[in-house]
């Protein structure tokens, strides 16, 4: 008989790389409208990160140059849950966001792809079919 021990109990945050933390912070807070919750900073030093609360997972913007981490764009989209992709897209377009092509209907969800100021892939996502 073997015993399985659960090691991972959840996701605390998802890190998003940034070359320009202040521009990224303004985008996530003012354009996307995600609630800012904290800034990682030591006295008299530039910020090395900033957190935003989505209600399910914290987004942590990482100041790559400030931490000596080579910057690399995340090409796989972070999917933001929305109630209506078309409505959310229209609102973000009015705030200057450019989307990458038409909305996608996968048969279970609607999606719309775009990028943050650093070029990281982001997506609006609305699941309309039940899971399972």
- By the 8 A CB rule, do 121 and 77 touch? yes
* Cα 71 from Cα 68, distance rounded (Å): 9
Note the pLDDT of residue 2.
58
* Cα 49 from Cα 63, distance rounded (Å): 5
Find the distance separating the first CA and the last CA of the chain, reported in whole Å: 30
- Looking at the chain, the whole-number percentage of residues with pLDDT higher than 70 is 98
Strands (E), 6-103: 13-18, 35-40, 49-53, 58-63, 78-81
Note the pLDDT of residue 132.
74
Average confidence (pLDDT) over 50-66: 96
Task: Return the CATH architecture of domain 13-127.
Answer: Roll (3.10)
Note the pLDDT of residue 1.
54
């Amino acid at each position: 008989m073997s015993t399985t021990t659960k090691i991972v109990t959840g996701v605390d945050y998802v890190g998003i790389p940034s070359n320009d933390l202040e521009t990224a912070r303004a985008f996530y807070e003012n354009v996307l409208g995600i609630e800012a919750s904290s800034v990682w900073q030591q006295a008299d030093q530039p910020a090395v990160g900033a957190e935003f609360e989505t209600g399910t997972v914290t987004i942590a913007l990482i100041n790559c140059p400030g931490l000596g981490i080579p910057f690399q764009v995340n090409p796989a989209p972070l999917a933001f849950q929305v109630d209506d992709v078309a409505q959310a897209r229209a609102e973000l377009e009015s705030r200057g966001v450019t989307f990458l092509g038409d909305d996608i209907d996968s048969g279970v969800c609607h999606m719309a792809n775009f990028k943050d100021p650093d070029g990281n892939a982001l997506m609006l996502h609305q699941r309309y079919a039940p899971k399972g």
